[in-house]
Amino acid sequence: MRQKDPSIIIIGTGGIVQHAHLPAYKKAGYTVRGLFDTDLDKAKKVAAEFSIPAVYNSLEQAIAAAGPADIFDLAVPASAIIPVLHQLPPGAAVLLQKPMGENLEQAKEILARCKQKKLLAGINFQLRYAPFILKAKELLNSGQIGTLCDIEININVLTPWQLWDFLFTLPRMEILYHSIHYVDLVRQLAGEPESVFARTIKHPDMPQLASVKSMIYLDYGENMRASILTNHCHKFGPRHQHSYIRMEGTRGAIYIRLGLLMDYPQGVPDEFEYILLDENGEGKWKSISIDGSWFPDAFAGSMGEMMKAQADKKYKPDNNLEDGLKTMRWVEKAYVFNEKNKPSR
């Protein structure tokens, strides 16, 4: 008989919870025990929309309501993670929303605090579990693509940053809150790079935001390229917007359109194409349909790792904090490079 999955208690009910966490958990059949948000009216509205049985009046009440096997889902800004961790009981299970702190020092403190309290903790780098990424990994791991030698992630869209008010006050934004997904993904696909080159800048139309465009090059030596190019300010209509991940190997290639980012949060359909070369060096691009997308399906993957670890104490979740810290180190190095190499005025 299958063991019953733990219930989930969600801390924070912002847009990401409404658009991704709760739809993903509902689709996956996960049970959400209750919600807490400092905006009680918002929490009640979200609970009514998703038929969540409980809304807690305080963080203390939410913590007290948790069963011993339940998982806390912390969907709060990075700066709020440490104060919440301080209140969780020793040995609790918790999934942290990315990023893992506002900087590397906070990430280290988060890891140390979780170890000190013996928390079973994971980080929600959920792009890893998007259905099209799982399919790409399947092709890469089978060897059919050959030796991976190129990863290009290129985003040119108009992102509605106003959906997340807190972003407008942060000293770091685009890499830390968006391109971090791609840095993490590249690590997943290609391992640890040797170094990083990066620039992240503002846009005249969005002066309140610390940065909205980035260029990141993760250096893997002479035979491997990994580049991330993002522009969230393309306000000229959908015709020349694009959002894709391209992977090339010595024997094949994969192209993925990230439909979610185009007309976010409604999005457009994803696309998944691949080509495999035969012994004569010839092949044809094939398009396949992938069930599910980044939002909401990938979020079930992150929580699913925590569910496995909660059910089997010997299981180390793929999204463990030690691995998350590695992504945070490369993000920090990107910001350090950016600061050291700003053009003089």
Residue pLDDT, tens place only, 69-114: 999 999 999 999 999 999 999 999 999 999 999 999 999 999 999 9
49 vs 139: CA distance, rounded Å: 39
Instruction: Please provide the average confidence, as pLDDT, over all residues in the chain.
Output: 96
Return the CATH fold of 7-125+297-316: Rossmann fold (3.40.50)
Give 195-223 pLDDT, tens digit per residue: 999 999 999 999 999 999 999 999 999 99
Spans of all domains in the chain: 7-125+297-316, 128-287
Split at pLDDT 50, 70, 90, the class of 345 is: low
pLDDT score of 5: 75
For residue 296, is the peptide bond before it cis, meaning its omega torsion is within 30 degrees of 0? yes
Distances (CA, A) of 127 to 80, 131, 149, 200, 319: 22, 9, 21, 21, 11
Q: How many CB atoms lie within 10 A of CB 96?
A: 28
From the list 144, 154, 135, the residue with the least C-alpha distance to 288 is 135
Report pLDDT digits (tens) over 145-193: 999 999 999 999 999 999 899 999 999 999 999 999 999 999 999 999 9
The predicted pLDDT at position 184 comes to: 98
Q: Mean pLDDT across the stretch 239-266?
A: 96
Residue 175 · residue 331 · CB < 8 Å? yes
- Give the CATH H-level superfamily of domain 128-287: Dihydrodipicolinate Reductase; domain 2 (3.30.360.10)
Is the pLDDT higher at 343 or at 231? 231
Q: In what order do the strands lie in the sheet with 7-11?
A: 31-36, 7-11, 71-74, 93-97, 120-124
Average pLDDT of the segment spanning 277-282: 96
Q: Which residues face 225 on adjacent strands?
A: 150, 219
Residue 2 has pLDDT above 50, yes or no: no
Helix axes 321-340, 104-116, angle to 10 degrees: 160
Asked if 31 and 55 touch (Cβ cutoff 8 Å), the reply is no
Euclidean distance between the first and final Cα of the chain, in Å?
68
pTM of the model: 0.96
- pLDDT for residue 343: 86
